[in-house]
Chain A
Amino acid sequence: MSLAIARVSMPAEARRGAVIDIKAIIRHPMETGYRPDSMGRRIPRHIIEQFWVTYGGTEVFGMDLTQGVAANPFFAFSILATETAELVFTWRDDRGEVFTVTKHLTVTE
Protein backbone atom coordinates (compact mmCIF):
# COMPACT_ATOMS: atom_id res chain seq x y z
CA MET A 1 0.00 0.00 0.00
CA SER A 2 2.81 2.31 0.79
CA LEU A 3 5.06 4.05 -1.68
CA ALA A 4 7.94 3.69 0.75
CA ILE A 5 11.06 2.19 -0.74
CA ALA A 6 13.90 0.97 1.43
CA ARG A 7 17.41 0.32 0.23
CA VAL A 8 20.50 -1.09 1.96
CA SER A 9 24.06 -0.90 0.68
CA MET A 10 26.61 -3.33 2.11
CA PRO A 11 29.20 -5.82 0.88
CA ALA A 12 28.00 -9.35 0.04
CA GLU A 13 31.16 -10.93 1.41
CA ALA A 14 33.56 -10.16 4.25
CA ARG A 15 36.33 -11.84 6.20
CA ARG A 16 35.49 -13.08 9.69
CA GLY A 17 36.15 -10.33 12.21
CA ALA A 18 35.98 -7.53 9.65
CA VAL A 19 33.90 -4.44 10.42
CA ILE A 20 31.60 -3.80 7.45
CA ASP A 21 30.06 -0.43 6.68
CA ILE A 22 26.33 -0.38 6.02
CA LYS A 23 24.17 2.40 4.57
CA ALA A 24 20.39 2.27 4.80
CA ILE A 25 17.82 4.67 3.37
CA ILE A 26 14.04 4.63 3.20
CA ARG A 27 11.66 6.89 1.33
CA HIS A 28 9.38 8.32 4.02
CA PRO A 29 7.93 11.83 4.63
CA MET A 30 8.93 11.97 8.33
CA GLU A 31 6.02 14.44 8.68
CA THR A 32 6.71 16.38 11.87
CA GLY A 33 3.12 17.02 12.94
CA TYR A 34 3.91 20.74 13.27
CA ARG A 35 3.18 21.90 9.73
CA PRO A 36 -0.18 23.37 8.76
CA ASP A 37 -1.76 22.45 5.43
CA SER A 38 -3.17 25.06 3.01
CA MET A 39 -6.34 25.29 5.17
CA GLY A 40 -4.33 25.95 8.32
CA ARG A 41 -5.05 22.50 9.76
CA ARG A 42 -2.18 20.66 11.35
CA ILE A 43 -0.84 17.81 9.20
CA PRO A 44 -0.73 14.73 11.46
CA ARG A 45 2.64 13.37 12.49
CA HIS A 46 3.85 10.46 10.38
CA ILE A 47 7.36 9.26 11.13
CA ILE A 48 9.53 6.17 11.22
CA GLU A 49 9.79 5.43 14.94
CA GLN A 50 12.13 2.47 14.97
CA PHE A 51 14.79 0.79 12.88
CA TRP A 52 16.64 -2.36 13.78
CA VAL A 53 18.97 -4.93 12.25
CA THR A 54 19.08 -8.62 13.05
CA TYR A 55 22.05 -10.77 12.03
CA GLY A 56 21.39 -14.51 12.10
CA GLY A 57 18.27 -13.72 14.16
CA THR A 58 20.03 -11.62 16.82
CA GLU A 59 19.55 -7.86 17.02
CA VAL A 60 22.92 -6.18 16.49
CA PHE A 61 21.94 -2.53 15.90
CA GLY A 62 18.88 -0.38 16.51
CA MET A 63 17.57 3.18 16.42
CA ASP A 64 14.77 5.15 18.06
CA LEU A 65 13.76 8.06 15.84
CA THR A 66 11.74 11.24 16.28
CA GLN A 67 10.54 14.00 13.96
CA GLY A 68 14.03 15.48 14.51
CA VAL A 69 15.31 13.14 11.78
CA ALA A 70 15.12 14.42 8.19
CA ALA A 71 12.68 13.13 5.57
CA ASN A 72 13.82 10.01 3.71
CA PRO A 73 15.97 9.00 6.68
CA PHE A 74 19.49 7.85 5.91
CA PHE A 75 21.65 5.90 8.35
CA ALA A 76 25.27 4.79 8.18
CA PHE A 77 26.63 2.35 10.74
CA SER A 78 28.74 -0.80 10.96
CA ILE A 79 28.41 -4.47 11.81
CA LEU A 80 31.05 -7.02 12.84
CA ALA A 81 31.16 -9.94 10.36
CA THR A 82 30.90 -13.06 12.52
CA GLU A 83 29.08 -15.74 10.49
CA THR A 84 27.51 -16.42 7.13
CA ALA A 85 23.88 -15.46 7.68
CA GLU A 86 20.97 -13.24 6.71
CA LEU A 87 20.80 -9.63 7.85
CA VAL A 88 17.26 -8.31 8.15
CA PHE A 89 16.74 -4.53 8.22
CA THR A 90 13.37 -3.42 9.57
CA TRP A 91 11.77 0.03 9.71
CA ARG A 92 8.48 0.59 11.59
CA ASP A 93 6.46 3.81 11.39
CA ASP A 94 3.93 5.29 13.79
CA ARG A 95 1.02 3.95 11.72
CA GLY A 96 2.27 0.42 12.29
CA GLU A 97 3.61 -0.05 8.78
CA VAL A 98 6.70 -2.25 8.63
CA PHE A 99 9.27 -2.29 5.84
CA THR A 100 12.01 -4.88 5.61
CA VAL A 101 15.07 -5.53 3.48
CA THR A 102 16.97 -8.82 3.71
CA LYS A 103 20.63 -9.17 2.69
CA HIS A 104 22.87 -12.21 2.73
CA LEU A 105 26.41 -11.92 4.06
CA THR A 106 28.98 -14.57 3.24
CA VAL A 107 31.80 -14.68 5.78
CA THR A 108 35.15 -16.14 4.71
CA GLU A 109 38.07 -17.19 6.89
Chain B
Amino acid sequence: MTTRRGAIIATLGVSVFGLPRATIATPQMRDEAIAAITSGAPVGDGRVTLTIPGIAENGLSVYTTVAVDSPMTAADHVRAIHIIAEQNPIARLVTFRLGPRAGAAKVSTNIRLAASQHVTALAELSDGSFWRDAKPVVVTLAACVDGG
Protein backbone atom coordinates (compact mmCIF):
# COMPACT_ATOMS: atom_id res chain seq x y z
CA MET B 1 0.00 0.00 0.00
CA THR B 2 1.37 3.40 -0.92
CA THR B 3 1.07 5.84 1.91
CA ARG B 4 1.82 9.53 1.70
CA ARG B 5 4.69 9.03 4.14
CA GLY B 6 6.07 6.17 2.07
CA ALA B 7 5.93 8.22 -1.10
CA ILE B 8 7.78 11.10 0.55
CA ILE B 9 10.48 8.78 1.87
CA ALA B 10 10.83 7.12 -1.53
CA THR B 11 11.26 10.52 -3.16
CA LEU B 12 13.82 11.61 -0.57
CA GLY B 13 15.79 8.43 -1.11
CA VAL B 14 16.67 9.60 -4.59
CA SER B 15 16.53 13.38 -4.55
CA VAL B 16 18.23 14.16 -1.26
CA PHE B 17 21.32 12.22 -2.24
CA GLY B 18 21.09 13.21 -5.89
CA LEU B 19 21.67 9.61 -6.89
CA PRO B 20 20.34 6.23 -5.84
CA ARG B 21 21.97 5.05 -2.64
CA ALA B 22 23.08 1.84 -4.34
CA THR B 23 25.65 3.74 -6.39
CA ILE B 24 27.65 4.83 -3.34
CA ALA B 25 30.96 2.98 -3.26
CA THR B 26 31.63 0.47 -0.53
CA PRO B 27 34.89 -0.64 1.12
CA GLN B 28 34.69 -3.61 -1.27
CA MET B 29 34.70 -1.20 -4.24
CA ARG B 30 37.67 0.56 -2.66
CA ASP B 31 39.51 -2.76 -2.44
CA GLU B 32 38.58 -3.54 -6.05
CA ALA B 33 39.87 -0.15 -7.18
CA ILE B 34 43.15 -0.80 -5.36
CA ALA B 35 43.41 -4.31 -6.84
CA ALA B 36 42.78 -2.90 -10.34
CA ILE B 37 45.79 -0.60 -9.86
CA THR B 38 48.10 -3.12 -8.18
CA SER B 39 47.01 -6.20 -10.18
CA GLY B 40 46.87 -7.95 -6.83
CA ALA B 41 50.43 -7.07 -5.75
CA PRO B 42 50.92 -6.59 -1.99
CA VAL B 43 50.52 -3.06 -0.62
CA GLY B 44 52.78 -1.97 2.23
CA ASP B 45 51.88 0.46 4.98
CA GLY B 46 54.28 3.38 5.23
CA ARG B 47 56.40 5.65 3.01
CA VAL B 48 53.19 7.52 2.11
CA THR B 49 51.87 10.44 4.19
CA LEU B 50 48.28 11.49 3.56
CA THR B 51 47.41 14.89 5.03
CA ILE B 52 43.68 15.57 5.17
CA PRO B 53 41.47 17.32 7.75
CA GLY B 54 40.06 14.98 10.41
CA ILE B 55 36.84 16.96 10.25
CA ALA B 56 35.86 18.29 6.83
CA GLU B 57 33.14 20.90 7.23
CA ASN B 58 32.49 21.00 3.50
CA GLY B 59 32.66 17.68 1.65
CA LEU B 60 32.47 19.52 -1.66
CA SER B 61 36.08 20.59 -1.33
CA VAL B 62 38.51 18.85 1.01
CA TYR B 63 42.14 19.94 0.72
CA THR B 64 44.27 16.82 0.49
CA THR B 65 48.04 16.42 0.28
CA VAL B 66 49.96 13.22 -0.40
CA ALA B 67 53.71 13.00 0.11
CA VAL B 68 55.84 9.94 -0.57
CA ASP B 69 59.27 9.26 0.90
CA SER B 70 61.28 8.83 -2.31
CA PRO B 71 64.58 10.23 -3.67
CA MET B 72 62.82 10.78 -7.05
CA THR B 73 65.86 9.70 -9.09
CA ALA B 74 65.75 7.89 -12.43
CA ALA B 75 66.45 4.61 -10.61
CA ASP B 76 64.09 5.12 -7.67
CA HIS B 77 61.00 7.29 -8.04
CA VAL B 78 57.24 7.41 -7.63
CA ARG B 79 55.34 6.56 -10.80
CA ALA B 80 51.85 7.39 -9.63
CA ILE B 81 49.81 8.50 -6.63
CA HIS B 82 46.13 7.61 -6.36
CA ILE B 83 43.51 8.97 -3.93
CA ILE B 84 40.78 6.43 -3.21
CA ALA B 85 37.48 6.81 -1.35
CA GLU B 86 35.25 4.10 0.12
CA GLN B 87 31.93 5.97 0.44
CA ASN B 88 31.82 8.01 -2.78
CA PRO B 89 29.95 7.13 -5.99
CA ILE B 90 33.31 6.20 -7.50
CA ALA B 91 36.28 4.86 -5.58
CA ARG B 92 39.29 6.23 -7.48
CA LEU B 93 39.04 10.01 -7.22
CA VAL B 94 42.24 11.15 -8.88
CA THR B 95 45.57 9.84 -10.15
CA PHE B 96 48.79 11.84 -10.30
CA ARG B 97 51.43 10.61 -12.78
CA LEU B 98 54.95 11.48 -11.69
CA GLY B 99 58.52 10.69 -12.62
CA PRO B 100 62.05 11.73 -11.72
CA ARG B 101 61.51 15.12 -13.39
CA ALA B 102 58.83 15.99 -10.84
CA GLY B 103 61.75 16.45 -8.43
CA ALA B 104 59.66 15.68 -5.33
CA ALA B 105 56.76 13.35 -4.63
CA LYS B 106 54.32 15.73 -2.99
CA VAL B 107 50.98 16.65 -4.55
CA SER B 108 47.83 18.44 -3.41
CA THR B 109 44.31 18.94 -4.69
CA ASN B 110 40.73 19.45 -3.44
CA ILE B 111 38.57 16.32 -3.43
CA ARG B 112 34.85 15.69 -2.91
CA LEU B 113 33.64 13.39 -0.14
CA ALA B 114 30.06 12.10 -0.12
CA ALA B 115 30.16 10.84 3.48
CA SER B 116 32.38 10.37 6.52
CA GLN B 117 34.87 7.67 5.63
CA HIS B 118 38.48 6.55 5.41
CA VAL B 119 40.42 8.07 2.53
CA THR B 120 43.34 6.07 1.12
CA ALA B 121 46.45 7.36 -0.67
CA LEU B 122 48.18 4.70 -2.76
CA ALA B 123 51.65 5.18 -4.25
CA GLU B 124 53.14 3.15 -7.09
CA LEU B 125 56.95 3.12 -7.11
CA SER B 126 59.39 2.55 -9.97
CA ASP B 127 60.49 -0.78 -8.44
CA GLY B 128 56.92 -2.04 -8.79
CA SER B 129 56.09 -1.83 -5.09
CA PHE B 130 52.92 -0.23 -3.67
CA TRP B 131 52.54 1.73 -0.45
CA ARG B 132 49.57 3.33 1.23
CA ASP B 133 48.30 5.55 4.01
CA ALA B 134 44.68 5.90 5.11
CA LYS B 135 43.00 8.52 7.31
CA PRO B 136 39.48 8.82 8.71
CA VAL B 137 37.57 11.96 7.75
CA VAL B 138 34.34 13.15 9.35
CA VAL B 139 32.32 15.06 6.75
CA THR B 140 29.84 17.63 8.07
CA LEU B 141 28.29 18.70 4.75
CA ALA B 142 28.44 15.87 2.25
CA ALA B 143 29.02 16.28 -1.48
CA CYS B 144 26.40 14.79 -3.82
CA VAL B 145 23.47 16.23 -1.85
CA ASP B 146 21.38 18.84 -3.63
CA GLY B 147 23.47 21.80 -4.64
CA GLY B 148 26.60 19.67 -4.69
Given A68-B85, A69-B110, A75-B108, are A34 and B19 neighbors across the interface (CB < 8 Å)? yes
B side interface size, CB within 8 A: 39
Contact of A61 among B83, B89, B102, B146 (CB under 8 A): B102
Given A32-B144, A82-B101, are A70 and B90 neighbors across the interface (CB < 8 Å)? no
In the complex, the answer to whether B95 meets A63 with C-beta atoms within 8 Å is: yes
In the complex, the answer to whether B112 meets A79 with C-beta atoms within 8 Å is: no
In the complex, the answer to whether B94 meets A76 with C-beta atoms within 8 Å is: no
In the complex, the answer to whether B92 meets A76 with C-beta atoms within 8 Å is: no
In the complex, the answer to whether A76 meets B112 with C-beta atoms within 8 Å is: no
Interface residues on A, range: 20 to 34
By a beta-carbon cutoff of 8 Å, the part of chain B in contact with chain A is 15, 18-19, 23, 60-62, 65, 72, 83, 85, 88-90, 92-104, 106-112, 143-144, 146-148
| Apart from A19-B103, A35-B144, A66-B93: 6 A-B pairs, beta carbons within 8 A | A32-B144, A61-B97, A62-B97, A63-B96, A67-B90, A74-B109
By a beta-carbon cutoff of 8 Å, the part of chain A in contact with chain B is 19-20, 32, 34-36, 40, 52, 55, 58, 60-71, 73-82
